[in-house]
Amino acid sequence: MFILGGKPGISIGQEDARCQVSGFRERKRSLVVGRRARALSLRWRARLHVSLSLNRRQVLQLVAAQALFWGTFVVRQSSLGAVEANGTATLPFPVQELQKGTGPTPQVGDLVGIRFRGTYNGRVFDDIMKSPVPYYMRVGSGSLLKGIEEAVKRMHVGDYWRLELPPAYAFGNKGRRASPGTPAIPPNATLVYEIRLDELPGREQELLEVTGGDLRETD
């Protein structure tokens, strides 16, 4: 029997077997990490692009290309509900207006840029309020929580709201499993979100330019 590293009782054959098992585990771990990486949300992919120092125009190009990459973009029409006397559309959960905006209200299918911070029991679990670029989404696409989707359809550009989302408008009775960069949310959790509607690029000349619109491109 050959002795390796001064440790008796370990033969070359045993060490080879251990190396093979270790290599298999490492390959398995790489596959799992790869699957998790491919499962990252658009928001995390956008953060990756930001880390590569892309400008706003390039980010818009990437967002506009999502519909082509993932297939036909389908938006869901839904009722906007009643409207109060002050012009603020009612929602089926508590809403506090932190800042009033004076810009336009998006329509279903518009591209908007929003920022938000989510908390559960006072603990922040999601925060892009200070990120270099907002999170871009199509209104009515279902890419965010139902409560946020419903709120965005009623907001004006510049509005800053605090939402108290019951489970039916958050992660429901299943909650959310932990994933890279995001903690788990238990079932039937009520969440608090601060959300600000920053941009409505779906009606801006720049978006028409990057998506091949009829407007002449200018840099």
Dig out the tokens for 29 from the structure.
Answer: 């771990």
Instruction: Examine the pLDDT at 145 and tell me if it is beyond 80.
Output: yes
Could you give the number of structural domains in the chain?
A: 1
Mean pLDDT, rounded, of the chain:
69
- Segment 43-54 shows an average pLDDT of 46
Establish if 178 belongs to a structural domain. yes
Residues 199, 112 contacting (CB under 8 angstroms): yes
Tell whether 106 is covered by a domain.
yes
For 167-191, the DSSP string reads: GGGTTTTT-B--BTTB--B-TT--E
Q: From CA 8, how far away is CA 23, in angstroms rounded?
A: 23
- Domain presence at residue 174: yes
Considering the domain boundaries, does residue 113 fall inside one? yes
Checking 52-59 for CB contacts under 8 A at 24+ apart, the result is: 56/133, 56/206, 57/206, 57/210, 59/133, 59/136
Q: Whose CA is closest to 171, among 203, 146, 204? A: 146
**173, part of any domain:** yes
CB 138 within 8 A of CB 73: yes
Domain with 147, as residue range(s), is 73-208
Q: How far apart are CA 172 and CA 166, in angstroms?
A: 8
Residue 216 to residue 16: CA distance in whole angstroms: 65
Longest dimension (CA), the chain: 89
pLDDT at 182: 81
Higher pLDDT pick, 171 / 4: 171
Q: Is the CB of residue 80 less than 8 Å from the CB of residue 89?
A: yes
pLDDT range class, residue 192, cuts 50, 70, 90? very high
pLDDT above 90 covers a percentage of the chain that reads 37
In a domain, residue 88? The reply is yes
- The mean per-residue pLDDT over the stretch 134-149 comes to 89
171: domain CATH number? 3.10.50.40
Binned at pLDDT 50, 70 and 90, residue 138 comes out as: confident
Q: Looking at this protein, which amino acid is placed at residue 89?
A: A
The predicted pLDDT at position 102 comes to: 92
Is 125 inside a domain boundary? yes
Higher local confidence (pLDDT), 52 or 89: 89
Percent of the residues in the chain that have a pLDDT greater than 70, as a whole number: 51
Structure tokens at 57: 């125009």
11 assigned to some structural domain: no
User: What's residue 181's pLDDT?
Assistant: 77
